[in-house]
Structure 1
């Protein structure tokens, strides 16, 4: 949370991946700055607004790991559109999700599943984000992945390179080294020249969220309906995670009136496979570590 400051000035600051800043601002100031970003067709940072607290949220671009895990494996494709880094407005509150599945029916779209990923983000804020998607935007199912990276120690100065070509060559070489390291330590750490660029993965937890009844409000913070630990202290422990997370069904992906019969609506849909998760997760670790080696640019 920052002190009262000029929102546009804060938006212009270079931010590390996954950083979120909360700034006291009026709705009018938020609209003015958002209009500037829209006019520039800027995709980063993202800017949201909480009308209940008059706080603007400035969200830096996601890290490679964050972006990699924002879409979950699915066996369902017909009629579905998978989106990332999109958003929604409700009254004087705007928000977004990391990934979403929407069903398109002519010009109408229905939000079916929303995905939120937190990389060393507080668990409370992650729950609040996915609860908003379920309670305010009425998506059928919310899926949240909480990723905890162990501390990397003192953050080193980023290397400086004579040219962008030298930078790309150095990072490419480092990323190849990181991939070799992952064959021995599948969840890190990733170390180069004595510097840890990605810490060991302490824990990964996958949770599902549903609205329990009609009494919920937009501000309800939900408890997870299912919770699975996938990685613990650098080791994969998710061997017993069911592919459909014990509850994901076709009716979560496609509106019931499109389907024919209760049995079809209740057909299980697989949303988790270990091979998909590990390949995607490790690619995200490597990309995040490589990006941390690049000079920060305004």
Structure 2
């Protein structure tokens, strides 16, 4: 073969079966091709999965405007929940909050709380905390270890997945080994009762709180919602809001449970019902996904009127041993001391103020200064 023939020999077609080196190259080419095909299929599958998550109903739901206190559930995988949660964290979104129930495989979307919701949670915790701190004969060091915790996220495992929830509030007792959860609180405003029970049951059964207290509030229909009111200046807007606030204070004195009406619109509907309940785990071995039945249930408000005159000040069962671990206390007698915190005067004052603040927040949301 000439030098020219030898130079171009590699470009001539040669059967792979006739050349060992070419057989190796041919096999490697097929393997590489198969690997790339598999990688492409895997990549396309991942892209389809990511596209499905990006276009998911859960992501669309958290993007929609939500009314304060709204809470609803959507079927979702843990992976979809985590994907949407990462998006919210990257965007530094405070609300809506996203939670996940691993037992029922549902994501829970929680809107920003109204003043009524937030303040009633705070009031319940503060009243009980103050009642413990004011007890005579109890060592100040023991009292000082009881503290309030609000809106904390907790994750527990549920078989092949996990549950992540935020409590509304809790009382915790500090020890050298860490915190012991004592009393959990949940307030629901026009929230489904089953959802409220599931939330408090999680705190008691999965997180092992000694007792759970819920307040379920049902606001009546507000009818036609007010349109956005436009003002020429910020001063004009603020003046009208101040006048409306004075008007609502007068309405509240005559209707302590609503409706709060001003300028022809209902800014807070009449309170149809307020119920306070206690929940306690009867069996320490019950599964963490147990849905508890209430131990005690008290109607406080019915059809816009206070009906809770016979409610025991400790809800018939809240004791010092529910707020401070019994092994810290000197004996069973002091552990059984009732924690009296509930009363009509306190409840009506704080509930009315919080309801009015919520009505004012709604008015402010509908009041804007015209641009230009």
1:40-80: CA deviations, max 9, x gaps? 55432211011233322110011111112113122024222
Name the CA distance, whole Å, in 1 between partners of 2:264 and 2:226.
11
Q: 2:352 maps to what in 1?
A: 282
Aligned residues: 294
Matches within 5 A, 1:134-283: 134-162=204-232, 166-283=236-353
Name the CA distance, whole Å, in 2 between partners of 1:93 and 1:165.
48
Distance 1:145 1:194, change over 3 A: same
2, 5, 11: which one aligns with 2:62? 11
Distance 1:8 1:113, change over 3 A: same
Q: Secondary structure at the match of 2:365?
A: coil
RMSD over aligned Cα atoms = 2.2
Mean alpha-carbon deviation: is it higher for 212-221 or for 236-245? 212-221
Distance 1:146 1:222, change over 3 A: same
Distance 1:113 1:161, change over 3 A: farther
Distance 1:40 1:172, change over 3 A: farther
Which has the larger strand fraction? 1
Question: Contact 1:159/1:293 (CA < 8 Å) preserved in 2?
Answer: no
Q: Secondary structure at the match of 2:243?
A: helix
Q: 2:5 maps to what in 1?
A: none
Q: 2:151 maps to what in 1?
A: 85
Name the CA distance, whole Å, in 1 between partners of 2:119 and 2:279.
21
Q: 2:186 maps to what in 1?
A: 116
Determine which structure has greater relative contact order: mean sequence separation of CA pairs < 8 Å that are 6+ residues apart, divided by chain length.
1
- Report the Cα offset of residue 125 of structure 1: 1.5
Name the CA distance, whole Å, in 2 between partners of 1:225 and 1:291.
35
Name the CA distance, whole Å, in 2 between partners of 1:220 and 1:107.
27
Mean alpha-carbon deviation: is it higher for 145-154 or for 38-47? 38-47
1:68-109: CA deviations, max 9, x gaps? 211312202422221222221112111122121111224611
Question: Contact 1:159/1:294 (CA < 8 Å) preserved in 2?
Answer: no
Name the CA distance, whole Å, in 1 between partners of 2:168 and 2:363.
24
Q: Give TM-score scaled by structure 2 length.
A: 0.73
- Report the structure number with the largest CA radius of gyration: 2
Q: Secondary structure at the match of 1:104?
A: strand
Is 2:138 aligned against 1:76? no
Name the CA distance, whole Å, in 2 between partners of 1:231 and 1:282.
12
Distance 1:202 1:27, change over 3 A: same
Give 5+ residue unaligned stretches, structure 1: none
Question: Contact 1:206/1:229 (CA < 8 Å) preserved in 2?
Answer: yes
Mean alpha-carbon deviation: is it higher for 54-63 or for 75-84? 75-84
Name the CA distance, whole Å, in 2 between partners of 1:296 and 1:138.
43
Name the CA distance, whole Å, in 2 between partners of 1:10 and 1:246.
41
Name the CA distance, whole Å, in 1 between partners of 2:57 and 2:190.
27
- Report the Cα offset of residue 16 of structure 1: 0.9
Q: Secondary structure at the match of 2:288?
A: coil
